Structure 1
Amino acid sequence: MSDTSPAAAGTMRVAVTGATGLIGSALVDRLTRDGHTVVRVVRGRAGPGDVAWDPEAETIDSAALEGVDAIVHLAGENVGTRWNDEKKRRIMDSRVKGTRLIAHAAAHMTRQPRVFVQAAATGIYGARGDEALNESSAPGKGFLADVGRAWEGASSLAEEAGIRVVKLRFGVVLSARGGALKQLLLPFRMGVGGPVGTGRQWMPWLSLDDAVEMIVVSLRDPRYKGPINAIAASVRNQDFTRALGRAVHRPALIPTPAFALRALFGEMADETLLGSQNAEPRRLKELGFRYLHPTMEDALHAALRGG
């Protein structure tokens, strides 16, 4: 089943926030190659065809958004550094204020976009051990779970206006260009990589190519709606590190103890590096999504080739 509207069948004007980020830059390249027009929603000075916004000040050039067929909202403060009160405020506000701002703009456009695709995260489930987690699982506890609830709730203005809203709960996106894998490559290539903590914690993952593909399919397929676990699978950290070691042809035997991570990163370590989320892509399976890189080995090799 697919959308038969002219915009879905042909080319679209797609507004993208976070267009310079890991997923955003790859998405812009893909949309452009496919013949779509990309409207970048940018902070500061907007170039020709761009839309200026400032989520912190809650301002956006709504008039410049008019005429877009879809909005893809990917912007948000990086969570992968040590947290303090100010950092946590920026993580929360960048997601909640930004989502609320652009959802409000979408809801009040003269011609509303057909679809609003919102980045979210499996962090909404909190640390849950071995519990299998799908889209019907309740949100968990902890800072990132609180962020996830508020983040997803901030797009309610678009939903209430009748716009189809897709909430892609991304796991760890595997790419040598950025994110967790980029930070791991140097120690693993030097032969000093290994499991984190006990290595028993689950990590939801997907390839960068599949992250982009999920967004592209969400734009055109009306069955994609609501929360979707945007992952290929979940893997225990010890199995991930073994696979990464094999991919770079190095041993992966030197563990990083939990106490060292807590000393370096504090609360962030417990929630992102040591926390366990055994999420499963139940909705994507129901929708028949076709993965470009369905296995960890495929995804790692694609990442190391530059994906």
Structure 2
Amino acid sequence: MKIAITGGTGLVGSALSSELVRNGHEVIILTRKSNEQDNHNPRYVQWLNPADQPENELEGIDAIVNLAGATINDRWTDEYKQKIIDSRIKATTEVNRIIEALKNKPPVLINASAVGYYGTSMTEVFNEQSETGNDFLADTVLRWEAAANQARELGTRVVLCRFGVILDKNGGALPKMILPYKFFAGGKVGSGAQWLSWIHIDDVIQGIIFAIQHAQLNGPVNFVSPSPVTMDQFGKILSKVLRRPHWLPVPSFALKIALGDMSMLVLEGQNVMPAKLQNAGFSYKFPELEKALKEILGN
């Protein structure tokens, strides 16, 4: 396959690119910065600069994977919230322009999204049929997905990957979650009863490839493990894998002071199930948290 990736140097993009190249596929990474290694795989093509015309290099692609967008792991000031929204809409709008400019439209657009679509709840179980929430992340995801869905009008299948918390040693949330335990200061966060819908990075990558290859997958698809846990369960399993105590509670007010609005990601949570992936026959390599953490942390 010939696959174009935006956000190809990020956590998911770099892992996806490596896996595709390792399996003999041709990868083109769309990037703001030039790269002289034009004959290598992956190949880098500039985009999002005023004079860029990446479509000239993308004829014949089998899929485009749009992972571009500012990280949500920085403190959410009003200015940064706008950056989170604008970066996603701008990138997705440009992806649609590229698809429209191509003589041969790619069969599928795999577009990043998030389980933040559903809002938060301590009791409700969400699947792809659940309604949207009413907070900042839910509104952001709603607008992001609406932009991606415009590619349907061009005849391209659109898969919206609603990612949960992606677990990987090289980035994302896990290194920050591990840090207190390394200093023997890990413990329950907030009430501990809030849900964490997580997924191992390897299952993310294989899930994306699965979605490219299986035309029955369409629209929103939850990229989460079938075994969500509460934050207290997560901490206890993490402490077991790290062989560190789980004893020092982190009060909610302290996280709100430290993280601002972003604290909702840790303090409120959501229980999300991957109905579409499971119904399509996707096989998880790491469906259970302890096995996933042991693989990631080398235990």
TM-score higher than 0.5: yes
Given that residues 60 and 101 in structure 1 are in contact (C-alpha distance below 8 angstroms), is that contact kept between their aligned partners in structure 2? Answer: no
- Distance, in Å, in 2 between the alignment partners of 1:230 and 1:40 is 22
> Structure 2 length normalisation: TM-score?
0.94
1:9 corresponds in structure 2 to: none
Secondary structure of 1:50's partner? strand
1:258 aligns with 2:247: no
- Distance, in Å, in 1 between the alignment partners of 2:114 and 2:5 is 18
> Unpaired segments of 5 or more residues in structure 1?
1-11
Please tell me the residue identity of whatever aligns with 1:203.
L
Query: Among 4, 11, 15, which residue is 1:15 paired with?
Result: 4
1:25 corresponds in structure 2 to: 14
1:217 corresponds in structure 2 to: 210
Aligned-pair CA distance for 1:28: 0.7
Q: Deviations over 1:166-222 (max 9, x none)?
A: 111010011111111111222212221112111111111010000001011111111
1:190 corresponds in structure 2 to: 183
Given that residues 113 and 145 in structure 2 are in contact (C-alpha distance below 8 angstroms), is that contact kept between their aligned partners in structure 1? Answer: yes
1:150 aligns with 2:155: no
Aligned-pair CA distance for 1:74: 0.9
1:107 aligns with 2:116: no
- Report the RMSD for the aligned CA atoms in angstroms: 1.6
- Distance, in Å, in 2 between the alignment partners of 1:162 and 1:73 is 17
2:238 corresponds in structure 1 to: 244
Given that residues 51 and 65 in structure 1 are in contact (C-alpha distance below 8 angstroms), is that contact kept between their aligned partners in structure 2? Answer: no
Secondary structure of 2:111's partner? strand
- Distance, in Å, in 2 between the alignment partners of 1:264 and 1:209 is 31
Aligned-pair CA distance for 1:62: 2.2
1:133 corresponds in structure 2 to: 126
1:78 corresponds in structure 2 to: 71
Secondary structure of 1:154's partner? helix
> Structure 1 length normalisation: TM-score?
0.92
Given that residues 105 and 155 in structure 2 are in contact (C-alpha distance below 8 angstroms), is that contact kept between their aligned partners in structure 1? Answer: no
Aligned residue pairs, count = 293
Percent of aligned pairs with the same amino acid: 39
Please tell me the residue identity of whatever aligns with 2:183.
M
Please tell me the residue identity of whatever aligns with 2:179.
L
Aligned-pair CA distance for 1:156: 2.1
Given that residues 119 and 170 in structure 1 are in contact (C-alpha distance below 8 angstroms), is that contact kept between their aligned partners in structure 2? Answer: yes
Q: Which runs of 4+ in 1 moved over 4 A?
A: 57-60
Given that residues 139 and 149 in structure 1 are in contact (C-alpha distance below 8 angstroms), is that contact kept between their aligned partners in structure 2? Answer: yes
Q: Deviations over 1:223-270 (max 9, x none)?
A: 121101111132110001111011101111111111001111111112
1:234 corresponds in structure 2 to: 228
Aligned-pair CA distance for 1:162: 1.2
Secondary structure of 2:279's partner? helix
- Distance, in Å, in 2 between the alignment partners of 1:136 and 1:59 is 38
Given that residues 59 and 101 in structure 1 are in contact (C-alpha distance below 8 angstroms), is that contact kept between their aligned partners in structure 2? Answer: no
Given that residues 130 and 276 in structure 1 are in contact (C-alpha distance below 8 angstroms), is that contact kept between their aligned partners in structure 2? Answer: no
- Distance, in Å, in 1 between the alignment partners of 2:53 and 2:267 is 38
Secondary structure of 1:256's partner? coil
Aligned-pair CA distance for 1:134: 0.5
> Unpaired segments of 5 or more residues in structure 2?
none
Please tell me the residue identity of whatever aligns with 1:215.
I
- Distance, in Å, in 2 between the alignment partners of 1:179 and 1:62 is 31
Q: Deviations over 1:67-95 (max 9, x none)?
A: 21110111111111211121111100111
- Distance, in Å, in 2 between the alignment partners of 1:58 and 1:290 is 43
Aligned-pair CA distance for 1:104: 2.5
- Distance, in Å, in 2 between the alignment partners of 1:67 and 1:283 is 28
1:298 corresponds in structure 2 to: 291
Query: Among 33, 42, 47, which residue is 1:44 paired with?
Result: 33
Given that residues 104 and 157 in structure 1 are in contact (C-alpha distance below 8 angstroms), is that contact kept between their aligned partners in structure 2? Answer: no
- Distance, in Å, in 2 between the alignment partners of 1:208 and 1:15 is 19
Aligned-pair CA distance for 1:158: 1.1
Please tell me the residue identity of whatever aligns with 2:245.
P
